[in-house]
Amino acid sequence: MSNEFQQAYAALTQWVDTAMDQGWLTETDRKSLSKIERATADDLFVTSDKRPLVVGLFGGTGVGKSSLLNRLAGQVIAKVGVERPTSREVTLYLHESHALASLPKEFPVNKTRVAHHQDNSKRDVVWIDMPDIDSTETANRKLVFAWLPYIDWVIYVVSPERYRDDAGWQIVRQRGHRHRWLFVMNQWDIGTKEQIAEFVTDLEHAGFDDPLVLTSSCAGDATPDEFEHIAQTIRAAIDSHGLAELKRLGVWARLRDLEQLRATFKTRLGDDKTWRHFVQAHRVHAQQILTKLRESMRWPIETIANRFRNRERGWFGMRKSVAPDSIELSDLSAQLWSAQSQHYVDDIVSQAAIDTEVHGIATSAVQRSIKLSLAPADDTMIGAATAGLERALSKPGTPVLRSVRSFARLSMYLLPFAATAWAAYHVVTRYQQALADGGDFLGIDFAIHSLLLLFLAWLAPFVIYRLLRPSLRASARRGLESGVVEAIGILTARLEQSYQQLERDRAALLDSLDALRS
Cα–Cα distance for residue pair 133/148, rounded to 1 Å: 11
Residue 94's φ and ψ, nearest 5 degrees, are: -145, 165
Q: Specify the pLDDT at position 330.
A: 54
Q: Specify the pLDDT at position 254.
A: 86
List Cβ neighbours of 355 (8 Å cut-off, separation of 6 or more).
278, 281, 282, 285
Q: At residue 88, what is the residue type?
A: R
Cα–Cα distance for residue pair 18/268, rounded to 1 Å: 14
Long-range contacts of 278-286 (CB under 8 A, 24+ apart): 278/355, 278/356, 278/358, 278/359, 278/361, 278/366, 279/499, 279/503, 281/355, 281/358, 281/359, 282/351, 282/352, 282/355, 283/495, 283/499, 285/348, 285/351, 285/355, 286/348, 286/351, 286/492, 286/495
Distance between first and last Cα of the chain: 20
Cα–Cα distance for residue pair 331/320, rounded to 1 Å: 26
Q: Specify the pLDDT at position 207.
A: 84
Mean pLDDT by 10 residues, the chain (518 residues): 81 93 90 87 82 88 84 75 55 88 72 85 87 76 84 89 77 82 88 90 87 83 81 81 71 87 90 94 96 92 79 46 46 78 94 92 92 91 88 77 81 88 85 77 82 87 76 84 94 96 94 84
- CA distances (Å), 199 to each of 160, 195, 215, in order? 9, 6, 12
Cα–Cα distance for residue pair 81/127, rounded to 1 Å: 20
DSSP codes of every residue in 438-462: --PPP-HHHHHHHHHHHHHHHHHHH
Q: At residue 196, what is the residue type?
A: I
H helix intervals, 270-398: 272-296, 298-306, 332-336, 339-358, 364-374, 377-394
List the one residue out of 303, 311, 283, 502 whose CA is nearest residue 396.
311
Q: Is 405 exposed, middle or buried (0-12, 13-18, 19+ CB in 10 A)?
A: buried
What's the pTM value of the predicted model, to 2 decimals? 0.70
Q: Specify the pLDDT at position 219.
A: 67
Q: Specify the pLDDT at position 80.
A: 61
Cα–Cα distance for residue pair 192/208, rounded to 1 Å: 22
Whether residue 69 contacts residue 126, with contact meaning beta carbons closer than 8 Å, is answered with no
Cα–Cα distance for residue pair 510/516, rounded to 1 Å: 10
Cα–Cα distance for residue pair 490/512, rounded to 1 Å: 33
Q: Which helix (H) or strand (E) holds 398?
A: none
Helix (H, G, I), strand (E, B) or coil at 128: strand
Dihedral sign, Cα of residue 389, residue 393, residue 394, residue 400 = positive
Q: At residue 297, what is the residue type?
A: M
